Amino acid sequence: MDLIAEITPSLLDGLKTTLLLFLIIVVITIPLGFLIACVRVYAPKWLSWIIQVYIYIMRGTPLLLQLMIVFFGLPLVGITFDRFTAAVFTFTINYAAYYAEIFRGGILSIPKGQFEAIKVLGIGKINGFRKIIIPQVMRVVLPSVGNEVIALVKDTSLIYILGIGELLRAGQIAANTYASLIPYAAVGAIYLIVTGLVTLLLNAIEKKSNY
Amino acid sequence: MGLKATNLTKQFNGIDVLRNFNFTIEAGEIVTLVGKSGTGKTTLMRVLNQLEKADNGTIAIDENYLCRETTEDKTEYVSSKERMVYNNQIGMVFQDYQLFPNLTVLKNCIEAPLDQKLLTKEQAIEKAEMLLTQMKILDKKDVYPSTLSGGQQQRVAIARAMMLNPKILCFDEPTSALDRDSSNEVGKMIESIASSGTGILIVTHDIEFAEKFGTRVVSSDEFLR
């Protein structure tokens, strides 16, 4: 018990960084992924092709490698980020690619007839997309988006490689300091609490978007 | 007065579907379009509703043109603003209705006139409730389409199309998913819409329905001449 009291402040400190990165990435990448999906579906072929290559690279290589390249590799060609910016940048381009593919599937799942009905009724393209298509896309993609959001909670631990003091690193340091497994168990419990809360939130959103 | 299409030509995958086809729908008339599958009945309806482009010919409702035949044996579509005017003179009820599943019945009806700023919200709701009453489906105005039967969805789709006061209303296979009783019921509703001066075009496989409710039956054999 004493040990837990002892390590709690440093774990909570790590948790702060973990949550900060998580929130920033969720807020940036979901809209960005949607935008990329729209471009991929509606833009000219050459642009769509560039996006396909980008998505292939992001999904086809480990996120850990991408983090290393951005933080350790890019300085070799003169581009230097501080640790946290490097993490935000890498997670953004990586997760946006996954979301783009999820949203693309969502957009393509809407029957052509819905777009035709919007046209025949003379509803403006932008308004029709915003009020009629997007809500349907959201409903289709929510379970997959939820999967990615939960994966993101855990993936934030990868930034330990950049030496950022997030939750897992805080746990590892404590485990080494006290030669104990308890910090690892505590870290696991904290991840479970966070993902549990995120799951509850996602369920609530899913329920609200039902029609 | 009504819809007039002259010299209409449309190719699909290099094959003529319509060739120099002349066609009219007068106000209050119910034209039923019959013929084998794949003969272009739905294509004609889609051309009239701007979901496909004609290769040649002239289409107009009263004095509002959609496209005009030019001397070089081509057709020229009018500006997008004029197409919008034409668009509101013609409505379409899809075979699978295509109600918006994320909007309630009432919101399905009022979305188009509100988006086009043709009515205030109060006016739109009043009009929608009147049409939904006429279609005998007012009690479902606050539910989502997924809770309705096919026949009920169709009546909502008719009300939704009528919100824009079209002079011409098109139906793609309105009886394909209905039993005989329901077919007769929708036929009578279509008759009552026509009796107020709306010209009706119905694409159908159902010869019995076509002959019973059509004031004029057109066969797709006439498309190619």
Res B44 pLDDT > 80 = yes
pLDDT, chain A, mean: 94
Chain A residues close to B143, C-beta within 8 Å = none
For B120-146, give one letter per residue: b (16+ CB within 10 A) or e.
eeeebbebbbebbebbebbebbebbbe
B160: confidence class by pLDDT, cuts 50, 70, 90: very high
Query: Rounded CA gap, A201 and A204, in Å?
Result: 5
Query: Rounded CA gap, B86 and B50, in Å?
Result: 10
Among residues A81, A117, A103, the alpha carbon closest in space to that of A29 is found at A103
Mean pLDDT of A178-198: 94
A122: confidence class by pLDDT, cuts 50, 70, 90: very high
Stated as kind and residue range, the H or E segment containing B217 is strand B216-219
Res B15 pLDDT > 90 = no
Q: What is the pLDDT of residue B68?
A: 92
pLDDT in tens, A168-187: 999 999 999 999 999 999 99
Q: Which of A56-60, B10-14, B84-88, B167-171 has the lowest mean pLDDT?
A: B10-14
Output the CA–CA distances (angstroms, integers) from residue A140 to A44, A114, A144, B41, in the order listed: 25, 15, 8, 34
Say which of B49, B101, B115 has its CB closest to residue A123. B115
- Please count the residue pairs, one from chain A and one from chain B, whose beta carbons lie less than 8 angstroms apart: 54
Q: Sheet containing B30-34: which strands, arranged edge to edge?
A: B90-93, B168-172, B199-203, B30-34, B216-219
Residue A119: HSE in the Cβ half-sphere, 13 Å Cα cutoff: 15
Q: What is the pLDDT of residue A145?
A: 96
B125 to chain A nearest CA, in Å? 17
Provide residues of A within 8 Å CB-CB of chain B: 111, 113-114, 116-117, 119-124, 127-128, 131-132, 135-136, 139, 211
pLDDT in tens, B171-181: 999 999 888 99
Say which of B88, B94, B116 has its CB closest to residue A117. B94
Quote ipTM for the complex: 0.93
Nearest residue in B to A209, CA atom: B102
**CB atoms B112 and A114 under 8 Å:** no
B207: confidence class by pLDDT, cuts 50, 70, 90: very high
- Residue A105 and residue A141 in contact, taking contact as beta carbons nearer than 8 Å: yes
pTM comes to: 0.89
pLDDT, chain B, mean: 93
Angle (CA) B118 B162 B95, round 5°: 130
A120: confidence class by pLDDT, cuts 50, 70, 90: very high
Mean pLDDT of B57-62: 95
Q: Phi-psi bin for A44: left (phi > 0), alpha (psi -120 to 50), beta?
A: beta
- Residue A173 and residue A10 in contact, taking contact as beta carbons nearer than 8 Å: yes
Nearest residue in A to B81, CA atom: A122
Nearest residue in A to B47, CA atom: A120
Q: Which of A134-143, A192-201, B38-47 has the lowest mean pLDDT?
A: B38-47
Q: What is the pLDDT of residue A153?
A: 96
Both structure tokens of B150:
């096919």
Neighbours of B148 (CB within 10 A): 18
A209: confidence class by pLDDT, cuts 50, 70, 90: confident
Q: What is the pLDDT of residue A6?
A: 87
Output the CA–CA distances (angstroms, integers) from residue B224 to A139, B9, B13, B43, B78, in the order listed: 45, 9, 16, 13, 26
Work out whether strand B15-26 and strand B75-77 pair parallel, antiparallel, or are unpaired.
Answer: unpaired
Neighbours of A1 (CB within 10 A): 6
A1: confidence class by pLDDT, cuts 50, 70, 90: low
B74: confidence class by pLDDT, cuts 50, 70, 90: confident
Cα A194 to the chain's mean position, in Å? 15
Say which of B88, B98, B160 has its CB closest to residue A114. B98
- Residue A145 and residue A102 in contact, taking contact as beta carbons nearer than 8 Å: yes
Among residues B150, B120, B123, B155, the alpha carbon closest in space to that of B139 is found at B155
Phi, psi of A87 (to 5 degrees): -65, -45
